[in-house]
Every structure is written in C-alpha cells, then in structure tokens.
Chain A
Amino acid sequence: MSFSAGTRSAFYVLALTATLPMTASTALASGARSDKLVLTGGVNAIEGAGGGGLATWALIGGLGTEDQYGGNAFYTNIAMDDFRLTSSGVLLGIRDRVELSLARQRLDTQDAGSALGIGRGFKISQDIFGIKVRLLGDAVLEQDSWLPQVSAGLQHKRNDQAALLQALGARDDSGTDFYLAASKLYLSSGVLLNATVRLTKANQLGLLGFGGDRNDSYRPQIELSAALLLRRDLALGAEYRSKPDNLSFADEGDWASAFIAWQPNKNIAVTIAYTALGDIATFSKQRGAYISLQLGF
C-alpha cells in the first residue's frame, strides 16, 4: 500500500495533533511548566529524537519532569561539501518517561545531483516517527550510583523516492531502527557520557533506502557521545556514529562531530557543530557545518 508523500505527512501530523488536546489539557492542569534543569533534556538529534546532534541518547526530550509534559520544535541544517541535509520536527516528552518525535529530513543533492544523473538539486525526503521509553535510572540525580539512565526506542522511517532507491540497489523505501541507549551525567567531573546500540538497515539514515545488494539484514551500530559542561547552560562535546554499508554502488562512512550546545533558558537551545560524514553516494569525505535551533515549552 503506498500513499503520496503529502498524504503520509498529513496522516502523521493528524495523528500527533489528535493527541494534543488530551496532552494540552493535562499539561494545563499541571501548570504547563517544564522544570527540568537546562540541557538535561538533550537537544534534538538529526533523526528528531532527544540526544546530541548525531546520536540518540537515553534522555527524554523536553524539559518536563516526571509530573509534567514538555516539548520542542527544531530545525537543523548541515551544509556539506556536495550536499545539504536539513531536518526539522517536533518532540513531546511525557512525564520524563515517554518521548514521541516526528521529523522530516531532506537531502538536497545540489550539483551532485547532476553528476549522479538524477538532476541538479534533486531532493530526497523521509519522515521519521520516533518513540522512546525510559526503562530505568536517572542520568542526573543518581550521582551515588554507577547505574546510567537506560532507554529503548524505535524510529520508523519512510522515504519518498521509492523508484530511485530501488535503482540504487536498496531493498526497501521504509524501515524501522531499534535502539537501546544509556546516558549518565557525572557531576563531580561535569562530564556526560552516552552509548547507544542501534539495530538498523538504513542506508545513510534511510535517505538512500533500507537494506541493499551488499547486505539486507539488521546489524548493530554504535553511537558514542561525550560532553563536558562548561557552564550550566553550555556544553562542549564530541560524537561518533558507526554506519552500515549495505549498498555496493557507494561506500558509506561512519559519522563524527564536535559540537557546542547552548541553552540560555528553557525555551531556546542552539547547537553548532563541525561534522565529518564520510562518503555519501560516491562523493567522498563530506564535511560540513551543522547548526540546529530548538524552541521549547
């Protein structure tokens, strides 16, 4: 069963909006405040879930505590040598236990599009619906325990270029990633660490489809992050994310970044990063400036 990209997006927005009256009235009843400390909800990662820039963390996004609801909207732009990747979306954190996220990514092939024979400025988009559940622990408060905060989640991704992806060797135009993440802030040193294991078949996050002629089975990938708190509203960090290599037409490289995240108040956060994104669709050593803006309630 296939719907047009427009219909699919409309469905997702409708589904999320349908839950809003219930959450809004409950949020109003609880005072509609978000009282987590700044930066302790992470920022919106490239797939829309709470975390760093490239990696998804165990933190529940938004600044709502266990009695509250919090959420945000974000826009991220990565300007690479040959491509431009944007991601935007919304996130809802429910009682610091469940996180729902919806994001749309768009890969603009720019001049590379002509070289790839698909046309200059050809755009590939995908929608990502995410759900994350905190299983145990608290990354911030349990300073006397070695136990991290652990969350499990999934990200269902739907790409809008089925025909192109098939031509590239991808096996599917939609897929689901499953992950387990562990995060902990060590206050005595001001360092936050995260490790995530992700079961995925997605090629370049899913932008080049799912599965391929080289491999079409789920393989575990790892995401590692380390951040140093410089001030209560400012963190400096680095991330690494391993990637599958399912398509024979183009190698896929691991991703890495160095970032600064600033959250001056509960309503706004800005992240800038330098990213190294490896080879993408035969264009080698993609590097670029990453900038992300997050507005929250």
Chain B
Amino acid sequence: MKRLILLLLLAATCVSASADQATFKAFGGRPGLVKIMDDMMLELLKDPRTEPFFAPVDQDHVKAMLVDQLCELLQGDCVYAGLDMRSAHADMGVKREHFNALIESLQLAMERNNVPFRAQNKLLAKLAPMHRDIVEKTDAADETPVEELPSEL
C-alpha cells in the first residue's frame, strides 16, 4: 500500500513537472521570453503609468534580468541572480495601479507572441503574490520621488 502511494506521488510530480515544461515551451522557451520582454518593455515605455519607472533605467539590463527570472519561474534551465523583489523595488513608490499596468503590458506582449491564454495565466499566478514585495504599503510614511530612482537595478 505504501509503495502504491509512493508510486502515485512520483507519478503526480512527473505530471506536474511535465505540465510546467509544457508551459515553458508554450512561451517559446528562453528565446520566446526574450522576445516577449522586448515587446513588454515597448509597452511599458508607451504607458504613462509605467514610463516614469522604466525610462530612466538600463532597459537592456532590466530585460535580461526579467528573462532569467521568468525562465526560472517557468522551470526553465535558468538561474535568476538579480536582486530580490523587495530590494529591487524599495522606495520606488510602486502602487497597485503601476503593478496592474505592468500586468497589462505583459498580457499584451504575451498575446502578441501567441502564448496560449492558459499558459499566460500560469505565469501570472506565480507573479501575482510578488505584489507583497513590490507594491508600497498604503500606510507608507514617505515616498521617494520618481526622479530619485536608482539608475540601475
């Protein structure tokens, strides 16, 4: 009986692991993510809500970091070596509206690159909880003006 349960657990992990592999493939692997991040950055710079955050930074660097981070999240063969989300966004004054604006830009970029809707939502499901580290708490005592954002992350 114990052996049967172990076997079933192993089978379940294999299924979910291959499901994640399928999701990574649905994104076009790492090259697909590179393309999606290129498109997303264009949207972020067009959107007046996110332009102030992304215009002054080294966009190529940010894109490369994002590709590594999403690749790792999607169980691709990558390692994200950048800052944790809290440090990366500290004192930036990111509000919920900015977080949502980025999600919209990401959705547009994924749509343009023909990522299936289900795969899109699997990625968003992993990104959503990051709001705790990224979005400034509404009772923050002070906000850093946008002009004082660090020039590189």
Which residues of A line the B interface, CB within 8 A?
Answer: 33, 35-37, 65-68, 96, 140-145, 186-190, 229-232
Contacts and interface: CB of A to CB of B under 8 A. Distances in A.
A144 B73 CA distance: 14
Interface residues of B, number: 20
Given A35-B49, A37-B103, A65 B96 contact: yes
Interface string B109-153: 000000001100110111011010000001000000000000000
A143 B126 contact: yes
Given A66-B138, A67-B138, A187-B121, A140 B128 contact: yes
B129 A188 contact: no
Contacts of B95: 65, 67
- Consensus secondary structure, chain B interface: helix
Nearest to A186: B125
Contact of A190 (B117, B126, B138): B117
Contacts of B122: 187-188
A37 B106 CA distance: 12
B97 A188 contact: no
Q: Label chain A's interface by main secondary structure.
A: loop
B121 A67 contact: no
B87 interface: no
B59 to A, nearest CB: 23
B75 interface: no
A110 B100 CA distance: 47
5 contacts: A37-B104, A143-B125, A143-B126, A144-B129, A232-B107
B93 to A, nearest CB: 11
Contacts of A141: 128-129, 131
A68 B97 contact: yes
